[in-house]
Amino acid sequence: MQSNANSVNIGSATSDKKPYHHGDLRLALVENGMRLIETSDANHLSLREVARETGVSAAAVYRHFPDKAALMLALANEGMVRLGAAQRTATAGAGGGWDGFVASGVAYVRFAADNPALFRLVFSYVPPISLLDASLEQVGSAMRDLREDIQKLMPAHLTEAERKIAALHAWALVHGLAELILDGHVARDWAVIEKVVGGATPQLEARSSE
């Protein structure tokens, strides 16, 4: 099945881009889109660019995706999956517990720093009108997994309400760090970032000394 002989672009062989060989164009589009969005510094990815990179006409994309949003959603979904994987790897690597929790947070920030455009795509494309559309479901569920992963890592002695607040605090903290780094307001200083994510926050101290 996976013969690599019958190239589609025999006619337009001038392109030096790696030509797409018959097989799964949908997959090739997503792969090339991911490569583009990992590489690119701009935070705008166009359908034509993905098609161009894949060595295929823009119209060909419409055989596999109803519109641009659907293509972007596929990329966002893949990004979401990778972000989750990076976090889980980090948690496991740190041996769980508090260190694992911190490692997971740092991994979140590092993922953003390493994949700026992808990170932004994930969070801007995931939940627009959310639950109605079926294709959004899988992305939505990846996002839900991420939230639940955070909650699972919370200290066990907290009440449900406390866990919710604490999880949101943790998420917002790493998300804010990520965004500030991407916008250039905060340096990629991992020693500092680890301290911020893992360190004690001043709030408790301030309260107790009030």
Partner DNA sequence: TGTACATCAGTGAACGCGCGTTCACTGATGTAC
Shortest distance, position 146 Cβ to a second copy, whole Å: 10
When CB distances are held under 5 to 8 angstroms depending on the partner's kind, the choice from a second copy, DNA, none that residue 165 binds is a second copy
**Interface with a second copy (CB under 8 A):** 97-98, 101, 123-124, 126-128, 130, 143, 154-155, 157-158, 162, 164-166, 168-180, 183-186, 192, 195-196, 198-207, 209-210
Shortest distance, position 115 Cβ to a second copy, whole Å: 16
Rounded to 5°, the CA angle 173-169-95 comes to: 80
Q: Residue 11 has which token pair?
A: 């006619």
Kindly tell me which of 63 and 157 has the beta carbon lying closer to a second copy: 157
Nearest in space to 38 (alpha carbons), one of 75, 86, 91: 75
Shortest distance, position 56 Cβ to a second copy, whole Å: 28
Region for residue 201 given its phi and psi (left: phi exceeds 0; alpha: psi -120 to 50; beta: otherwise): beta
When CB distances are held under 5 to 8 angstroms depending on the partner's kind, the choice from a second copy, DNA, none that residue 25 binds is DNA
Nearest in space to 8 (alpha carbons), one of 65, 62, 55: 55
Kindly tell me which of 60 and 158 has the beta carbon lying closer to DNA: 60
Region for residue 55 given its phi and psi (left: phi exceeds 0; alpha: psi -120 to 50; beta: otherwise): left
Q: Rounded to a whole number, what is the distance in angstroms from the first to the last CA of the chain?
A: 72
When CB distances are held under 5 to 8 angstroms depending on the partner's kind, the choice from a second copy, DNA, none that residue 46 binds is DNA
Kindly tell me which of 77 and 104 has the beta carbon lying closer to DNA: 77
Kindly tell me which of 24 and 162 has the beta carbon lying closer to DNA: 24
Shortest distance, position 4 Cβ to a second copy, whole Å: 41
Contact 153, 104 (CB under 8 A): yes
Nearest in space to 116 (alpha carbons), one of 187, 44, 197: 44
Residue 177 DSSP SS3: helix
Kindly tell me which of 83 and 177 has the beta carbon lying closer to a second copy: 177
- What residues are paired with 21 via a beta bridge? 7
**Interface with DNA (CB under 7 A):** 6, 8-9, 11-12, 20, 22, 25, 46-49, 55-64, 67-69
Say how many CA atoms lie within 13 Å of 138 toward its Cβ: 11
Shortest distance, position 69 Cβ to DNA, whole Å: 7
